[in-house]
Structure 1
Amino acid sequence: MNRSRSTFWLAGIAVAAALAAAPAAASPDKPVIALSNAYYGNTWRHQMVEAFEAEAKKAKEEGKIADYIILNGDGSVAQQNSQIAELILKKVDAIAVDAASETAVNGIIEKACKAGIKVVSFDSVASAPCNFQLNFDFTGYKKQQAEWVMKKIGGKGNIIVVRGVKGSAPDHDMFAAQEAVLKNYPDVKVVATVYGQATASVAQAAIANVLPSLPHVDAVLAQGGSDDTGIAQAFEQYGGDYAKKMPVIEGGGSSNFVQWWAKQKEENGYSTISMNTTPGIGGAAFWLAYKIVKGAEPPKTMIMPVATVTDENLKDYTSLPAGVIVSPSYSEEWVEKNLLAKK
């Protein structure tokens, strides 16, 4: 993590602490909705929190909620357990949880449920039976993307696997999906597996550290959250044969990567595919939590769509600002139509 990102992270935690300290005056008509976000150290999570906050502000301005609270963590289970315990004491009406672990926060979530608090875990979900899950089909879309890459390199060659946020449910599911695909390609060799923490700077450093000791790399399977940009930068800086032909790098929805890809495509016909979970889910999680408090009875498990960029629609995304993840926003109406109406 670079210095500016660290500053942003600490500032986010400070803001969250200030919000947490503010009184939350709930009422039956105007609930208090909280976000417990276990990890704040990458672009995807920043954008997710912004999506939650944008919808929460809108709801507060419209008089639908009394207040909202945002708590960002350092990735540890201990801190998230402490934060949720604090939210229980504050008697919030609902908590949206982007979990540090699929299982290790279940105990505190069960306590929240017993206190009458509605809990929605999302993105990195928790498996507590009482909570609602708003998830992505990490296994399905990662298998699809990995299959595309394997066919692109002709089913043979050397690859690097870049994992995501260590210990998270998405990392486990995506890595398992990639491994399942790789079993069908015996002529593909994994020459390195590193953790990129779904962060450009971490992924760049991880790739740069292993490249000098590796044979020529034909492709990189990654996880998203801006790791794609860091991977591309590492290969560009390494140079050598990669200056003429870059490996096929799985895109994870970073606008910087999309712009790099477009330039590479124009210069030398570079081709890849980008598929990513959408950080706009933060807004969907807010409205889902709100609707459940207000009496909605959705399915216990709901699946969000992913965003896909291909050579065919690449031009549609090249005008995105730098430093963002490809994502729509999700409104109250979208949640009603696409989540609550499906059982």
Structure 2
Amino acid sequence: MKTAFKYVLFGSALSSLALVATPSFASPDAPVIALANSFYGNTWRHQMVEAFEDAAEEAKAAGQIADYIVLNGDGSVVQQNSQMAELILKGVDVIAINAASETAVNGMIERACAAGIIVISFDSVASAPCNYQLNFDFLGYKAEQAEAVMQMIGGEGNVIVVRGVAGSAPDEAMYSAQQSVLEKYPDVNVVATVYGQATASVAQSAIANVLPSLPRVDAVLGQGGSDDVGIAQAFVQYGGEYEGNMPIIEGGGGTDFIRWWAEANAENGYETISMNTTPGIGGAAFWLGLSLLQGAEAPKQMLMPVATVTNENLADYADVAPGRIISPSYSLEWVQTNLLSN
């Protein structure tokens, strides 16, 4: 019997593979499930990979898989296509892919499907017809959140839009949802649009760079990941008219932001709303792949829930651990109940 393996890739070159065990090919009775993650540069993606690995370790300990592979990329299509080619050559059984592009990786996904590999794109999905899509309703929840913020500022004022990971399907969908809401409010002016890469440090720098040239900002529409706390820090450090009078900043589920919000709420009644996609989807994608490999059936397109924090339930999250994204863990049982066909 052939044995399988695990390796984890960080960086941009396939030559930098760190092999944890002797590499070999997968086989039907010793399955290998792989994660091809296009981008690893923010808290959300780190936590998503952790969720996948936790599920994989559980399955491995139970003898359900021989091993697993995790490939983390730099956000480029070229690198992810190379990673997909590597996984196809290794003959893995399942590939869960958080895609660098909705369309540009479709060719490699079709090749994987033709080789008999189950492919699940999730979070940032690909449109190849053969792959399963495990997605979030980015359009729905971001429109709902933007609408709530517009109500908080009375339908008028100056707004900054902070976009996410450039070129990704979630960024395009969330930005489109925000624009659809903004179009309904002619008295709201978008005074700046920047890219925050769903990362605290990048978002903070982007906001700090534009603030000196802007009029008073009343709200900031972000995308999550951990951009929320970076945005807040930029305004806090700028000070001036924002001291004790912060704009309404959309929360993206970052626990550092939630903790800051809870403190500001206690001090001066600061209010906002946080809605976020859950990085626990990494575990759900793993269990879905294993279930499909074992003969279960699922629809081609599936949706995951989002996490919501409002002023009403803020106290429930005031003591969350720092440096995380609010997310449940998704078990095999959850997947069987909520994603698989009945």
Instruction: Tell me the distance in 1 between the aligned counterparts of 2:280 and 2:319.
Output: 19
Q: For residues 128-167 of structure 1, what are the alpha-carbon distances to aligned partners after superposition, in whole Å with 9 as ceiling and x for unaligned?
A: 0000000000000000000000000000000000000000
Q: For residues 104-124 of structure 1, what are the alpha-carbon distances to aligned partners after superposition, in whole Å with 9 as ceiling and x for unaligned?
A: 000000000000000000000
**1:256 is matched with which residue?**
256
Mark the runs of 5 or more structure 1 residues left unpaired by the alignment. 1-8
Could you tell me the percent identity over the aligned residues?
A: 71
Matched, 1:76 2:95: no
Q: Which amino acid aligns with 1:149?
A: V
**1:307 is matched with which residue?**
307
Measure how far apart 1:17 and its partner are: 2.5
**1:67 is matched with which residue?**
67
Asked if the contact 2:10/2:71 (under 8 Å) is kept, the reply is no
Asked if the contact 1:121/1:134 (under 8 Å) is kept, the reply is yes
Measure how far apart 1:341 and its partner are: 3.8
Matches within 5 A, 1:93-172: 93-172=93-172
Instruction: Tell me the distance in 2 between the aligned counterparts of 1:270 and 1:154.
Output: 15
Q: 1:19 to 1:272 in 2, by over 3 A?
A: farther
**1:3 is matched with which residue?**
none
Instruction: Tell me the distance in 1 between the aligned counterparts of 2:165 and 2:330.
Output: 24
Q: For residues 262-321 of structure 1, what are the alpha-carbon distances to aligned partners after superposition, in whole Å with 9 as ceiling and x for unaligned?
A: 000000000000000000000000011111111112000000000000111111112211
Q: Which amino acid aligns with 1:328?
A: P
Asked if the contact 1:24/1:92 (under 8 Å) is kept, the reply is no
What TM-score comes out, normalization by structure 2 length? 0.95
User: Structure 1 stretch 332-341 or stretch 231-240: which is displaced more?
Assistant: 332-341
CA RMSD in angstroms comes to: 1.8
SS at match of 1:340: coil
Q: Which amino acid aligns with 1:186?
A: P
Instruction: Tell me the distance in 2 between the aligned counterparts of 1:36 and 1:111.
Output: 15
Q: How many residues align?
A: 334
Instruction: Tell me the distance in 1 between the aligned counterparts of 2:324 and 2:230.
Output: 14
Q: Which amino acid aligns with 1:290?
A: L
Q: Which amino acid aligns with 1:30?
A: A
Asked if the contact 1:24/1:66 (under 8 Å) is kept, the reply is no
Asked if the contact 1:20/1:69 (under 8 Å) is kept, the reply is no
Measure how far apart 1:26 and its partner are: 2.8
**1:276 is matched with which residue?**
276
Instruction: Tell me the distance in 2 between the aligned counterparts of 1:116 and 1:239.
Output: 57
Q: Which amino acid aligns with 1:95?
A: I
Instruction: Tell me the distance in 2 between the aligned counterparts of 1:21 and 1:74.
Output: 24
Instruction: Tell me the distance in 1 between the aligned counterparts of 2:334 and 2:317.
Output: 22
**1:236 is matched with which residue?**
236
**1:225 is matched with which residue?**
225
Instruction: Tell me the distance in 1 between the aligned counterparts of 2:267 and 2:141.
Output: 29
Instruction: Tell me the distance in 2 between the aligned counterparts of 1:10 and 1:132.
Output: 26
Q: Which amino acid aligns with 1:158?
A: N
SS at match of 2:339: helix
SS at match of 2:184: coil
Q: For residues 180-223 of structure 1, what are the alpha-carbon distances to aligned partners after superposition, in whole Å with 9 as ceiling and x for unaligned?
A: 00000000000000000000000000000000000000000000
Instruction: Tell me the distance in 2 between the aligned counterparts of 1:216 and 1:136.
Output: 33
Mark the runs of 5 or more structure 2 residues left unpaired by the alignment. 1-8
User: Structure 1 stretch 194-203 or stretch 21-30: which is displaced more?
Assistant: 21-30
Asked if the contact 2:11/2:73 (under 8 Å) is kept, the reply is no
- Larger proportion of helix: 1
**2:6 is matched with which residue?**
none
User: Structure 1 stretch 332-341 or stretch 267-276: which is displaced more?
Assistant: 332-341
Q: 1:178 to 1:19 in 2, by over 3 A?
A: farther
Q: 1:286 to 1:329 in 2, by over 3 A?
A: same
Q: For residues 47-69 of structure 1, what are the alpha-carbon distances to aligned partners after superposition, in whole Å with 9 as ceiling and x for unaligned?
A: 00000000000100100001100
Q: 1:83 to 1:258 in 2, by over 3 A?
A: same
Matched, 1:85 2:79: no
Q: 1:84 to 1:340 in 2, by over 3 A?
A: same
